[in-house]
Chain A
Amino acid sequence: MTELLWYITAALAIGSGLGVVMLRMPLYSALSLVLHLFTMAAMFAFLDAHFLATTQIIVYAGAIMVLVIFVIMLLSLEGTEKRPSIFLIGIAGAAAFGLLYMMAPAIRRTFPMTGGSLQGDVGTIGKSLYTDYIFSFEIASLLIMVAIVGAVVLAKRIKKNAT
């Protein structure tokens, strides 16, 4: 049962990913990305990383994607992009295939891999975060503050002197 569910989720993930890449209008791509993020959260849940699954939905899908959709609406993007040239598609596709081809043996060698009994709950993560990674935690908060200030400055309209 779980297996079937997993495969459906994986299919949705790949499908929505392809949707992001291939859909014309940016709004549709954004919505497709939201779906993708939900499936990723499901993946996290499959791996018993409950905290991360929740955080993914709240932060990623809830905040970041909202921001993205705000911007799309603000700029009234229509999706009048021209199709990329066949040449470019060929190169990109070849590179991607090449990458997968090279990774395939490595991945196959790891079969089958079964995991341990780690439970990624709040307590475990919290304990690790506030003891081993306290420094990175503080830096991360600093980073967010810098990002806020930067974003405000960049997006501000330049005031004209004349009234």
Chain B
Amino acid sequence: MPLSNYILLSAVMFSIGAVGVMLRRNTIVVFMCIEIMLNAVNLSFVTFSKLHNDISGQVGVFFVMVVAAAEAAVGLAIMISVFRSILSVETTDSSELKL
């Protein structure tokens, strides 16, 4: 299996994730699309690690996962906190910074 296929798959997944972030209003779904983007990047990391016979790529993925976990925890906590005041998780319902 040529490795370029993996790269192509990674590119497509990233684009899908980006489109999802731009189009969905629900904050949790936005978060999930971000996870898709991170996963796509993870895939390309591992692919290049395989290409260059260097384990550093996979170590990188490890750390990405750690960060994703931390981000999930804090992000969801924020979401809950915001929900308590505006009773909605839609991103369009809070535009305090509008000029």
Contacts and interface: CB of A to CB of B under 8 A. Distances in A.
Interface residues of A, number: 85
Contact of B63 (A13, A46, A136): A136
Nearest to A48: B50
Contacts of A13: 9, 13
Given A113-B2, A113-B3, A151 B36 contact: no
Interface residues of B, number: 69
Contacts of A14: 9, 12-13, 16
Interface of A: 2-3, 6, 10, 13-14, 17-18, 20-21, 26, 29-30, 33, 36-37, 40, 43-44, 46-49, 51-52, 55-56, 59-60, 63-64, 67-68, 71-72, 74-75, 77, 79, 81-82, 84, 88-89, 91-93, 95-97, 99-100, 103, 107-108, 110-118, 120, 124-125, 128-129, 132-133, 136, 140, 143-144, 146-148, 150-155, 157
